[in-house]
């Protein structure tokens, strides 16, 4: 329950931000949507025996998953099957509305799928205790909010007990060292709407560092769609590749540079999986993928 409350807290920006105009309003609406989603959560199932609480990366398997958001809503996933082995970088790509974000929502168990199976670490997600499942997942939103407070507070928000060494390692791994050096008071500098404003790429790397400090066994990353300068784009790519060497990373990719680095790419379209492969194989074999690649993904 504590983990769940922390998680909830971590996803919902402070109320003060809701009245700060455009960006904050958007964040507020997203937060309200999430609250609604969390209200609709299924009851936590009884804890099965033999639970392992280790930090090994976990894989994912969707087996013929069928899902709709409500009985009166159209089917979103019409028999989705794909596999993500433990460790490495897997990219989900496809046009808007293909059902990519819904994959994340189902993995987080914001919703229950109607049929088929979803396995995390070889175990049906319906058998995972909800808190343990969410504790194993790190989730980085597309427009990750920066909370009012210092950079240190932002990083430690979901994992207040990590050591200074672990914090500094997360800063290094997410290439935030330059930012820390540039800020007048380093980690103690106020950021967010009451302090130094961070760029889209920096915000996402802060969110990745925050997620890494919770030692996720599977990182779900909805890549930033904002235009990044060349340096930030390169950094984000390096960070994603590096994190994928230690844990499983499933990314909704909006950048060509991310998919070219991916170990495997799952192409979704119309609620199904259309093709799976590497960038090189898909460019040769899949017309939709070729078209997406030609647009550089950012507008998908
Ligand atoms: P995008 O790249 O635009 O985010 P996507 O591939 O991630 O698209 P989803 O967000 O999974 O696609 O949406 C798939 C379908 O489900 C869309 O028709 C969308 O309108 C619908 N949908 C998504 N979220 C919800 C929700 N919370 N309630 C009802 N319908 C939803």
Report the SS3 class of residue 156: helix
- The pTM assigned to this predicted structure is 0.81
Question: β-strand 88-93 against 264-269: which pairing, if any?
Answer: parallel
Q: Name the residue of 65, 68, 76, 220 whose CB sits within 8 Å of the most ligand 1 atoms, as the mutation to test its pocket.
A: 76
Q: 59-77: per-residue pLDDT in tens?
A: 999 999 999 999 999 999 9
Q: How many residues are recorded in the chain?
A: 300
In percent, the amount of the chain with pLDDT more than 70 equals 80
State in Å: Cα 158 to ligand 1 middle.
27
d(CA 27, CA 14): 10
Q: For residue 83, what are the β-bridge partners?
A: 61
| Residue at token pair 């807290």 | 9
Report the SS3 class of residue 111: coil
State the DSSP H helix or E strand holding residue 104, giving kind and residue range, or none if neither.
helix 100-107
**Low-confidence winner among 29-43, 136-150, 176-190 (lowest mean pLDDT):** 29-43
What's residue 224's pLDDT?
80
Is the Cβ–Cβ distance between 83 and 61 less than 8 Å?
yes
Q: CB burial class (10 A; 0-12, 13-18, 19+) of residue 106? A: buried
**Low-confidence winner among 28-37, 190-199, 263-272, 291-300 (lowest mean pLDDT):** 28-37
State the ipTM, two decimals: 0.97
Nearest CA to ligand 1 atom 17: 97
pLDDT of 155 above 90: yes
Q: How many CB atoms lie within 10 A of CB 19?
A: 9
Is the Cβ–Cβ distance between 120 and 250 less than 8 Å?
no
| Residue at token pair 């914090």 | 167
**Low-confidence winner among 34-38, 120-124, 219-223, 258-262 (lowest mean pLDDT):** 34-38
Instruction: Please state the separation of Cα 177 from the chain's center in Å.
Output: 22
What's residue 23's pLDDT?
42
Is the Cβ–Cβ distance between 201 and 208 less than 8 Å?
no
Pocket of ligand 1 (CB under 6 A): 69, 73, 76, 94, 96-102
- Tokens representing residue 186 in the block: 């380093």
What's residue 266's pLDDT?
97
What's residue 296's pLDDT?
65
- Nearest Cα residue to 141 out of 74, 197, 204: 204
State in Å: Cα 68 to ligand 1 middle.
10
Mean pLDDT of the chain: 83
Q: Name the residue of 77, 80, 82, 99 whose CB sits within 8 Å of the most ligand 1 atoms, as the mutation to test its pocket.
A: 99
d(CA 21, CA 246): 39
**Low-confidence winner among 17-31, 127-141, 192-206, 217-231 (lowest mean pLDDT):** 17-31
Q: 21-46: per-residue pLDDT in tens?
A: 444 445 555 555 554 454 455 444 44
Query: pLDDT confidence of 298, banded at 50, 70, 90?
Result: very low
What's residue 30's pLDDT?
55
């Amino acid at each position: 329950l504590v983990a769940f409350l922390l998680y909830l807290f971590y996803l919902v920006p402070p109320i003060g931000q809701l009245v700060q105009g455009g960006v904050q309003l958007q964040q507020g609406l997203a937060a309200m949507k999430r609250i609604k989603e969390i209200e609709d959560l299924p009851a936590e199932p009884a804890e099965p025996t033999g639970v392992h609480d280790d930090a090994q990366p976990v894989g994912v398997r969707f087996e013929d998953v069928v899902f709709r958001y409500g009985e009166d809503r159209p089917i979103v996933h019409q028999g989705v099957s794909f596999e993500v082995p433990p460790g490495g970088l897997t990219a989900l790509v496809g046009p808007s509305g293909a059902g990519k974000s819904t994959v994340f929502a189902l993995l987080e168990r914001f919703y229950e799928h109607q049929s088929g199976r979803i396995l995390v670490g070889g175990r049906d997600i319906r058998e995972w205790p909800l808190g343990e499942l969410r504790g194993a997942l790190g989730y980085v939103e597309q427009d990750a909010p920066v909370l009012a407070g210092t950079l240190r507070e932002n990083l430690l928000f979901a994992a207040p007990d990590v050591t200074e060494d672990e914090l500094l390692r997360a800063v290094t791994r997410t290439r935030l060292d330059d930012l820390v050096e540039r800020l007048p008071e380093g980690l103690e500098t106020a950021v967010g709407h009451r302090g130094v404003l961070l760029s889209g790429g920096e915000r996402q790397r802060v969110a990745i560092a925050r997620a890494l400090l919770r030692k996720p066994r599977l990182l779900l990353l909805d890549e930033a769609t904002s235009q990044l300068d060349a340096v930030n784009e390169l950094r984000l790519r390096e960070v994603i590749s590096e994190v994928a060497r230690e844990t499983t990373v499933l990314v909704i990719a909006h950048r060509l540079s991310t998919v070219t680095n991916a170990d495997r790419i799952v192409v979704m379209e119309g609620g199904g999986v259309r093709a799976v492969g590497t960038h090189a194989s898909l460019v040769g074999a899949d017309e939709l993928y070729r078209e997406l690649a030609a647009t550089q993904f950012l507008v998908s």
